[in-house]
Homo-oligomer: A and B are copies of this chain.
């Protein structure tokens, strides 16, 4: 791809210092940039690189005062601006050859769309559907009657089990399992009897799911990840959970059965959410929080058991003052004893 520096500037709201007609054709770190590259400099310690770079253009912060052979694009946050431009130059996912690899095992009743890529040693079971332009990297398993939407990208060794539905442009990273059985038993004195898990999982458009995640199917009905939600590595999503549109689940989060996570909610790393509650739209759950009851929309909670974040911080501040409190109480007790002694004398 080739872009004019002036056009790039427009996309990130930058002030151009130099020739906006110059073209850029690639991206690189400032110390590695070659002729034609766009790069950035977010820290003063890299300023010398800007002054000697071979790059065509450098995104710099407002504080940069030096000169450069490159065209400068001045913005408030160079790193963020650079990241936002990356998709112009680099694909989100590696290209893979179209067609079905001869070692893939595709059931004759599976329906394959146009321009699919079915990699080496993939398995596509009976009546599964692979949408137009979808990519199954090597070693991917797609179960019976599963549906993989157009433009999906399943990285190597992903497992999508029977009847699971992925919408369009879903990205799933390696080692992830979608559609494992929910953890359901009917227990009595003799032990735990498995409840067959007859539901499924629906993952809507433009969801991305990290590596080694486990998403259980519904016991009845479905587990649903709504459009645009982003799920990090090693997350556990139990049966019949709903993850709302554009929600963010950071690594190692666990969401228990039948809970609803609201739209645009954020669950920070290692947070755990009990079953059968609602985390409201736009709510923010702190790292390692243990959420034991529903969280209102827009609320911010943290700690275990999770409470309103400001309150949790305040309580924690008091907690840290406990030694002083005990000391103070002891001093006060001495003063009271002194007063009591005085009184004894007076009486």
Contacts and interface: CB of A to CB of B under 8 A. Distances in A.
Contacts of A125: 138
Contact of A319 (B91, B92, B315, B340): B315
B195 A87 contact: yes
Contacts of A256: 250-251, 269
Interface in A193-209: 193-196, 198, 206, 208
A219 interface: yes
Interface residues of A, number: 109
A274 B250 CA distance: 11
Nearest to A184: B83
Interface in A301-332: 303-305, 307, 314-316, 318-323, 325-326, 328-329, 332
Interface string A238-253: 1000000110101110
B214 A214 contact: no
Contacts of A250: 183, 256
Contacts of A2: none
Q: State the main secondary structure of chain A at its contact with B.
A: loop
A211 B212 CA distance: 9
Interface in A154-183: 155-157, 159, 161-162, 171, 173-177, 180-181, 183
A59 interface: no
A224 interface: no
Contacts of A283: none
A174 B183 contact: no
Given A326-B318, A340-B335, A270 B254 contact: yes
Interface string A85-97: 0110011101000
Contacts of A319: 315, 319, 322
A70 B80 CA distance: 61
Given A177-B211, A185-B230, A272-B287, A87 B252 contact: no
A133 interface: no
A289 B27 CA distance: 39
Contact of A194 (B208, B212, B336): B208
A290 interface: yes
Interface of A: 27, 29, 80, 83-84, 86-87, 90-92, 94, 101, 103, 105, 119-121, 123, 125, 138-139, 141, 143-144, 155-157, 159, 161-162, 171, 173-177, 180-181, 183-186, 191-196, 198, 206, 208, 210-214, 216, 219-221, 228, 230, 232-234, 236, 238, 245-246, 248, 250-252, 254, 256, 269-270, 272, 274, 287-288, 290, 292, 303-305, 307, 314-316, 318-323, 325-326, 328-329, 332-333, 335-336, 339-340, 342-343, 346
7 contacts: A84-B195, A141-B156, A161-B174, A173-B180, A173-B214, A254-B269, A315-B319
